[in-house]
Amino acid sequence: MKKVAIIGSGNIGTDLMIKIIRTSKVLEMGCFVGIDPESDGLARAKRMGVEVCATGIDGLIEMPIWKEIDVVFDATSAKAHVYNFGRMEAFPDKKIVDLTPAAIGPFVVPAVSFDSDLRSKLGLHFDTFAIANTQSDKQRINFNMVTCGGQATIPIVAAVSRIAKVHYGEIVASIASKSAGPGTRANIDEFTETTSEAIEKVGGATKGKAIIILNPAEPPLVMRDTVFTLSDQADREEIRESIHAMVAEVQQYVPGYTLHQEVQFDDIPEDEPVFIEGVGYKSGLKTTVLLQVIGAGHYLPEYAGNLDIMTSAAMAVGEKLVQY
């Protein structure tokens, strides 16, 4: 078992802590870190017998347990992560899994990043987890989990990309307002920017766009995601099979991840092309995929699928990292 620390005692950090304690056979909680001594997350950690620190990354580095930590999960905010990473650069033996949209290191989406054949197909020639020499020292220890919306939708864009050239990928992530803590709300701009970039760099689209909706409905609704792609014409059944295979791949680490409806296709004829900013006029095949993510209920109830897919993906990456 390898010891890990989690920085950020909000919804995401607390959910990840409970998930590691209950389900991981590889990772062991070493320390749970926050900046609010009265936070519910730190209180839960204490009750669960986890060592806690209420003085952030600075306090963690001064603790005896720091020497035993292999992986640090950062579940704070994009701005806070910049500071946290700056403090950790002096410790290259520690790996960072960044659950904020700071995007300092390489993007990681397990269903895509763990698949060497798919990485090659999409032009992602470096092995993120072997810490390839093509990456800078800064990037070698910092792995970015994109966003919850990115974790849910980028695998689908990649599934289409391995069959046909994707000119445009657009995703709309709708999450329950109750599931969005202060860190998520502070990162809305970074969410859209980072997810859009990862749709291109990991999903394989020429142009990406991301939209997030905080749904205030009561009772809270589960996470819903819509993925639109515009690609070259291709065999629709091949695309459908590729998407179903990708959903099954994501379900290996996020069981509540499902297709909400069957995959839909529409032709965009050559004489009626659509204009894509930064790409120009394009015709081809429009693919629409509707997803839902039901959470495991480790911290917040099942409606918080956005927490579950982010923390499940992060834990999968952490487990992968300690194997190298």
Domains and CATH numbers, the chain: 2-145+311-321 (3.40.50.720), 148-303 (3.30.360.10)
What is the pLDDT, as a whole number, of residue 132? 36
Query: Phi and psi (nearest 5°) for 20?
Result: -65, -45
What is the pLDDT, as a whole number, of residue 128? 54
DSSP symbols for 6-52:
EE--SHHHHHHHHHHHHH-SSEEEEEEE-S-TT-HHHHHHHHTT--E
What is the pLDDT, as a whole number, of residue 183? 81
From the first residue on, what is the mean pLDDT of each consecutive set of 10 residues in the chain (324 residues)? Answer: 97 97 98 97 98 98 98 96 95 94 92 80 59 48 94 98 97 96 88 96 96 96 98 98 98 97 98 95 98 96 96 96 82
Q: Which residue among the candidates 20, 111, 146, 148 is catalytic per the annotation?
A: 148
Name which of 202, 104, 71 is nearest 149 in CA terms: 202
Cα 63 from Cα 68, distance rounded (Å):
10
What is the pLDDT, as a whole number, of residue 127? 56
The position carrying tokens 């495991």 is 296
Cα 256 from Cα 166, distance rounded (Å):
27
CB atoms within 10 A of CB 309: 29
What is the pLDDT, as a whole number, of residue 303? 97
CA angle (80 as vertex; 82, 129 as ends), nearest 5 = 55
Which residues, in sequence order, are CB contacts of 40 under 8 Å at separation 6+? 9, 14
CA angle (227 as vertex; 182, 209 as ends), nearest 5 = 65
Cα 276 from Cα 121, distance rounded (Å):
24
Instruction: Tell me the whole-structure pTM to 2 decimals.
Output: 0.94
Instruction: Report yes or no: 5 and 30 within 8 Å, Cβ to Cβ.
Output: yes
Name which of 114, 138, 111, 144 is nearest 127 in CA terms: 114
Task: Report how far apart, in Å, the C-alpha atoms of 236 and of each of 145, 168, 187, 308 are.
Answer: 30, 17, 37, 31
What is the pLDDT, as a whole number, of residue 124? 64
What is the pLDDT, as a whole number, of residue 133? 35
The two structure tokens encoding residue 208: 């990406």
Name which of 312, 186, 316 is nearest 257 in CA terms: 312
Cα 132 from Cα 134, distance rounded (Å):
5
Instruction: Report yes or no: 293 and 254 within 8 Å, Cβ to Cβ.
Output: yes
Catalytic annotation on 31?
Answer: no
